[in-house]
Amino acid sequence: MNARTITAVAVAAVLVVSAAGATAFAQPNSPAADSTAPAADTDADAAQQSDGATNYTRLYVDEQYRSLRLKPGESDTVTITVENGEDEAVTISPHLFVPPRGERPVKESWVSIGSSDLEIGAGEERQFEVTVSVPEGAELNRYGGTIALTNETISYPGRPAQPVNGVSLNVEVWQEPNVRVVSDTYVHSQVQAGDSFTREIVVENTGDQAVPVSPELVTEDQYRPYNDRDTLERSWVDISAPNEIAPGETATISVTVTPPSDTDRGDYRAELDLGLKDPARSDQSTHWQRVSVRFQVWTQPDEPFQTSFEVSDDAENVTLDLSANRYRSADSEPASFDVTFVSPNGTEVAAERVSVSNRGSVDLGSSRQRAATDGTYANGGESQTFEYRLPDPESGDWSVKVMPENAMQFSYEVVRNEE
């Protein structure tokens, strides 16, 4: 059993602790311990050593944390294996311990513990069963507790006592959700200052009662991203939504973002709380109906981008490749470029565009951007490459001017094709 590999330091054995994280062995000057275990546990009088250290019953378990996920009316059983690390027989007394703080406590009436043959011989193992039965009508939530193996407890200053030996028990009471956000909950885009983009969020109600809808933009500092990215201004956002979603129906919530023309370029972010209440979900669980809104603002330049390059006597022609990413969720016109070559003597030469190519990627494992996939193939984005050619250039120092249109980012490559 894996528990045997837990190493003891000096004469102190590492003991099983509760979920609250109590230390397994109390050193001198450690917190006071209550060793008032019944006769079946170790002798309380022997709990104190002459040097002031406190010994506890050495018990080991194969799994210290047990979790169950149950619907109201369901039950399940876990088997706990305990090994006796003492040199004499020990009788355990498993019982539910509910801490006075932390998670909602597991109801004592939900838990039944097998109580037959709980004496464990020296170095031996014993198993017992813990059954959790969640009644109909139980509140949807997460519940916690500890299956204490003995009555021994340990306490720290200012903190309540907790079991020395125990197995953490966590129970999630849940139901199949009735309300789902069908579309993607990540709104990412690029937008030119003064323009706008719109996203539609589709919500489905499969329940038997109407669900209210009250979307709200959340822009508090807790949602600020890294690198000092800016928070989205509420005045930029227009939200259109119904008041409720009827049983068995779907509804569309439209979000339009319009940054003003004088908006600083950069990254902006906020979260949209759709204000949905699902009777089949805990009120503490709201992340499922939050939509991340994140986009980049850019401005159209007044002057073209310009770069220089040298042409040798052996060059037959020069090609310029401009690649622009097509942001997969952007609402914008296709990218284009106005390209002009400038000869060594300053003469401007209109560039000839000879080809346009598209390049994309497909991800069979992506779960996002459901609107951009047929369920099997998720579109990973696309880029376009525009090729321009300058035939028979004279040798010398050339430059090229590039004025982008509807392209927030682009890359370039100048190739001199020589004989």
> According to the 3-state scheme, what is the secondary structure of 330-389?
CCCCCCEEEEEEECCCCCEEECEEEEEEEEEEEECCCCCCHHHECCCCEEEEEEEEEEEE
Q: What is the pLDDT confidence band of residue 274, given thresholds at 50, 70 and 90?
A: very high
Say if domain 305-418 classifies as CATH 2.60.120: yes
Element holding 88 (H helix, E strand):
none
Q: What is the pLDDT confidence band of residue 331, given thresholds at 50, 70 and 90?
A: low
- Residue 381: exposure state from Cβ atoms within 10 A (0-12, 13-18, ≥19): middle
- Chain Cα centroid distance, residue 112: 35
pLDDT given at position 332: 59
Greater model confidence, 126 or 53: 126
Greater model confidence, 185 or 52: 185
**Residue 293 vs residues 210, 223, 325: alpha-carbon distances, Å:** 27, 11, 20
Element holding 73 (H helix, E strand):
none
Q: What is the pLDDT confidence band of residue 378, given thresholds at 50, 70 and 90?
A: low
pLDDT given at position 190: 86
Classify each residue of 100-115 as buried b or exposed e, where b means 16 or more C-beta atoms within 10 Å of its C-beta.
eeeeeebbeebbeeee
pLDDT given at position 413: 95
Q: For residue 17, what are its two tokens?
A: 């602790």
Greater model confidence, 116 or 21: 116
Say if domain 179-298 classifies as CATH 3.60.20.10: no
pLDDT given at position 373: 45
Collapsed DSSP state (helix, strand, coil) of residue 223: helix
Give mean pLDDT, residues 118-147: 93
Rounded to whole angstroms, how far apart are CA atoms 90 and 104? Answer: 32
pLDDT tens sequence across 199-239:
999 999 999 999 999 999 987 655 454 455 567 788 999 99
Task: Report whether pLDDT(12) > 60.
Answer: no
Q: What percent of the chain has pLDDT over 90?
A: 55
223: phi then psi, degrees, rounded to nearest 5: -105, 10
406: phi then psi, degrees, rounded to nearest 5: 60, 35
Residues of the chain with CATH 2.60.120: 305-418
Q: Which CATH class is domain 2-173?
A: mainly beta
Give mean pLDDT, residues 263-277: 90
pLDDT tens sequence across 276-309:
988 888 777 788 999 999 888 988 899 999 999 9
Output the pTM of the full model: 0.61
Nearest partner of 49 among 20, 21, 106, 11, judged by Cα? 11
pLDDT tens sequence across 78-102:
999 999 999 999 999 999 999 887 7
Q: For residue 199, what are its two tokens?
A: 């996203």
For the chain, what is the mean pLDDT? 81
For the chain, the C-alpha Rg in angstroms (whole number) is 34
Task: Report whether pLDDT(354) > 60.
Answer: yes
Rounded to whole angstroms, how far apart are CA atoms 360 and 381? Answer: 6
Task: Report whether pLDDT(9) > 50.
Answer: no
Contact 281, 288 (CB under 8 A): yes
Q: For residue 184, what are its two tokens?
A: 């993607």
pLDDT tens sequence across 148-199:
999 999 988 888 889 999 999 999 999 899 999 999 888 888 888 999 999 9
Task: Report whether pLDDT(43) > 50.
Answer: no
Nearest partner of 147 among 123, 131, 161, 136, judged by Cα? 131
pLDDT given at position 365: 72
Residues of the chain with CATH 2.60.40.10: 2-173, 179-298
Contact 105, 168 (CB under 8 A): no
pLDDT given at position 400: 96
